[in-house]
A and B are shown apart, each in its own frame.
Chain A
Amino acid sequence: MLGLGVDRLQADINRLLTSLFHQGVLDEQFLQLQQLQDETSPTFVYDVINIYFDESEKLLRSLRLLLMDREFSDYKKIGLHLNQLVGSSSSIGARRVRTVCVAFRSASELNNRPGCLRGLEVVEHEYHYLKNMMHELFQLEQQRLLAAGVRYPM
């Protein structure tokens, strides 16, 4: 809180990002996103990611409802939802979510219910992992911003 940890925080952020890249949780598209953030929209990444989480949460909920229904057969709808999810995930660079969604989608194309259920679980897992990581990232970012904002009278 004294503004001394800026470098450390920045290093932490970089380390976190690197590890997320390394794990394939994120890909270059996330850098694109960061690149798009500028003075005119200083919280762009945060906003986009938040909307992404909101939207995805809805989609996942809907998917779960669809799949939990015993007489369910609307694989097309699942496919549409997943297309959305794949699209937005690839847009923010959520690589692993995207990958598992694609697998899920191919299961749904085959009308493979067990595969879908498994897919849903994996997607939810990846999604939550991403969410946690993003949460951590944004917290670090916030701390760093706070720390960077500290000014001492010269």
Chain B
Amino acid sequence: MVCEMETDQQMEEMDVEVLSSMWPEDVGGTEPDNQFNVEKPAGDSDTLKEVDIAEKRTMADLKRLPDLLNTTDQGSTQLTNLVKQWEYMQDHAVRLLREELKILTKQREEAEAKELKIIEEHNFETEEPENVRVLDESSDLFRRFKEKKRDKLVGRKRIEIDEEFDTVAYWKQKALTFEKMLEASTERERRLIEKLNESLKTMESHSAPVEELTQNLKRAEGFLHFILQNAPIVMGHQDKDLRYLFIYNKFPTLREHDILGKTDVEIFHGGGVKESEDFKREVLEKGKASKREITFETDLFGSKTFLIYVEPVYNKAREKIGINYMGMEVTDQVRKREKMAKLREDNAVRKAMESELTKTIHITEETMRAKQMLATMSHEIRSPLSGVVGMAEILSTTKLDKEQRQLLNVMISSGDLVLQLINDILDLSKVESGVMKLEATKFRPREVVKHVLQTAAASLKKELTLEGNIADEVPILVVGDVLRIRQILTNLISNAIKFTHQGKVGIKLKVIPEPSFASDNTHKADAEEQNGLAETSVWICCDVYDTGIGIPENALPCLFKKYMQASADHARKYGGTGLGLAICKQLVELMGGQLTVTSQVNLGSTFTFILPYKVAASNDHSDDQDEFSDMVDHQPEPDDSTEGYFQFKPLLGSIYSNGGPVMGNNFLPHKAMLPSPVKLINGNTGQSESVQVENGGYMDDTRLETGSGHCPESAHQYENGNGRCPSKESESCSSSQASSEMESEFTVSSPREDVQTETEVKETSKQPKILLVEDNKINIMVAKSMMKQLGYTFDIANNGVEAITAINSSSYDLVLMDVCMPVLDGLKATRLIRSYEESGNWDAAVEAGVDIKVLENKQMSVRSTNRLPIIAMTANTLSESSEECYANGMDSFISKPVTLQKLKQCLQQYLH
């Protein structure tokens, strides 16, 4: 019975006592392997250390733990819990036992009742045995019970009776046997009850659950060891002075006695120790458990991050007696986390940058669009305005009275001003949008200075001395964008003249060492000196000085801003668009230089710009003298190229023939006198009514496009200023001089006369052969008519293939080539022609698919030795396209639509 009960109890314990079932039972078995129990003698020092510590740790455990358990809340709760568990278990066992007892009692009662019945029966039987049958029939259940009972309690014990059946002796004997059995049964039951009671008593009196508890504790410990075996965890308990009382460390590097009784600070040195100490103290003070990550940087174990959990420990009187401390090494996790954070941060930054970029792109696009819009608008304004100015100029050539003429002059000059403003805006937007490309051309700085001064002097209306001073070391030939440099110089000079009423205005050129800002701007400089070597570049400083009204200090910062003038007063008094200096500055910076200004009120200003130039190639240098002597042959003024000083004294009625108008708000009479008059609507032939009018107002465009820049050679010649290439400026200037002198009675030289003289001249010499390659009927027609007026004839080819065929079969002096054509475009055709000139055969052309048979007819061996001038005609006037033309071997280009002016200039340049 006891045995049975115990199994039951165990079973019940498993079911009910959830907590204890958590502890694996077999953990205890692994204990011998556990490091805590290692007791083997140490082979080497390492094991020894470990063992030592383990033992000592155990010692500490044994010594301190009970203390702790007894003195701290945590300890007592644990014990209480264990006791409670045990009590619960015992209660349960008692309950079970009681139940069992109840059942047994019931059974006994039943048995007794049955006994009684049986006795009664038997008594009755004795008296009336005939009734046995009835009883036998009805006592089936009883018998079964009896048998069962007998099975269980007595076994199959037969009652054996010696007497003869159904005699008195028999019944007596039987009754006696039954009585004995009953007695034995009663006795057994009494013993059982006794035993039961005894058992109950022992159960209840089993007051000390030490064994049970010890087992539980062992299991808990075993489990803990099992779990903590390899965990990178340090646990400890420190008293309220933060001295270690207990420490568990899986990977100890210090001996136990090095740690116990000491504080962190006493044990380690290095980063994080103080922090952890402070943290522990804080927890101790606040009395609230908390966690923190602390990175240690100690000599002992290097750089490691620990997640530390610290909780205060109270004694039963709720006084703090120390802290429990648990640390887990999370260096890897922290590192990973930091990496993640960094990645996330990077990601965010990248995203932010992306959106920022998108925004910037958007803004830039908007700005570009706005600028484009401004440019387009300016352009759109320019065309009708040129219509107005043009018509006004046409009007000025008609008969007008004085007052009308005055009004008209005002009208024209205002129109000119607006045109100038718009041109400036276009220039500026070109620079800003990066469309403006610089072109590298050889030029002579001395000549540029001289020309600028001459030009200024020509339109000078004040008593000013203009001077130019060029230092000897300034190279004779340099490479740069002469057009832009001229533009800057002209602008600065005209500015200087505008604000100077007496004294002098001048330009000073000198070579300077590479300035400091240049190194930052190398890329710009690179852009300028495209293929130049660094050592061949030279920095030239150009001062434009005057003795004018000067600029007040406070106005200097906004001087280079768009639409700004020194003051509103000045704007009223001197006019101007306020764009000039902004353009200058932008141009200078575009070329990789710097524009600065110094000024003193009433004493004058000096604008200084520093620019890098490439010194013309070395062979040019060595040949310089030759070239120079060559020049002598051609030039009436050889001194120009080396002369370092020019002066233009204020002579009224200037005699300088080689100058042009200064752009600005000056009245520009020359506009009305452009050298290419035109009959607006041609009258009936020979009728007196035909009115000759000027081709007014379109001069700027043509000058801009043909002046140079696009065609370096012409620019060069233009700079030379000799008669070979009569510049328009000289013409317009002379006419401007003329106009000031005989304004009212001027006569327009008939273009027809010009042309005729030219034609005559040409006819005396050999009539040049020209080939026009053009597919557009209208263009051919117009060109034909122009050529006729200029006195030339030409052949026509409709596309590149026809052009090549024509060139192959006949020799030409000049080819005008449309760029955009069907079949074979102008660029390709030019390339093929150039390749023919170089190789003497048309292989390249054949390769390109041009008909061979036609080309086999080679008779141009003479021609192939010379370079055939090919001039492109292109609708695209942007600089890029000109580069493309040059790159494909073209000599120059005319932008479409072709005008008489452009054509004339071009033909003059190439047919002499």
Contacts and interface: CB of A to CB of B under 8 A. Distances in A.
B686 interface: yes
A28 B700 CA distance: 12
B808 to A, nearest CB: 26
B782 A14 contact: no
A13 B681 CA distance: 9
Nearest to A93: B897
Interface string B397-416: 00000000000000000000
Interface string A15-29: 001100111100111
B660 interface: no
B386 interface: yes
A88 interface: yes
A148 B779 CA distance: 31
B679 A34 contact: yes
B375 to A, nearest CB: 14
Contacts of A42: 682, 684-685
Interface in B691-732: 691, 695, 697-698, 701
A57 interface: no
A51 to B, nearest CB: 6
B: interface residue count bin: 35 or more
B689 interface: yes
Given A32-B897, A93-B897, A24 B682 contact: no
A35 B676 contact: yes
B685 A34 contact: no
Contact of B875 (A6, A32, A86): A86
Given A34-B680, A148-B689, A18 B391 contact: yes
Nearest to A146: B684
A90 B897 contact: yes
Given A32-B897, A51-B781, A88-B777, A21 B391 contact: yes
B391 A37 contact: no
A88 B779 contact: yes
A24 B387 CA distance: 8
Nearest to A26: B387
**In this complex, which of A13, A17, A35, A88 has the most chain B Cβ atoms within 10 angstroms of its Cβ?**
A35
A93 to B, nearest CB: 7
B384 A148 contact: no
A38 interface: yes
Contacts of B383: 21, 24, 27, 95
Contact of B678 (A34, A39, A86, A148): A34
A48 interface: yes
B680 A91 contact: no
A130 interface: no
Interface in A36-70: 36-42, 44-45, 47-48, 51-52, 55
| Interface residue SS majority, chain A | helix
A17 B390 CA distance: 11
Interface in B756-790: 775-779, 781-782, 785-786, 788-789
A36 B752 contact: no
Nearest to B380: A24
Nearest to B385: A22
A145 interface: yes
B776 A84 contact: yes
Contacts of A13: 681
A1 interface: no
A6 B683 CA distance: 11
A18 B387 contact: yes
Contact of B689 (A6, A55, A91, A141): A6
A6 to B, nearest CB: 7
Given A51-B777, A88-B779, A29 B899 contact: yes
A31 B250 CA distance: 102
B776 A91 contact: yes
A34 B682 contact: yes
Given A22-B387, A41-B785, A48-B782, 19 more contacts: A14-B391, A21-B391, A27-B386, A28-B386, A31-B390, A31-B698, A32-B695, A34-B679, A35-B900, A36-B785, A38-B679, A39-B686, A42-B685, A45-B682, A48-B781, A55-B778, A87-B778, A87-B818, A141-B681
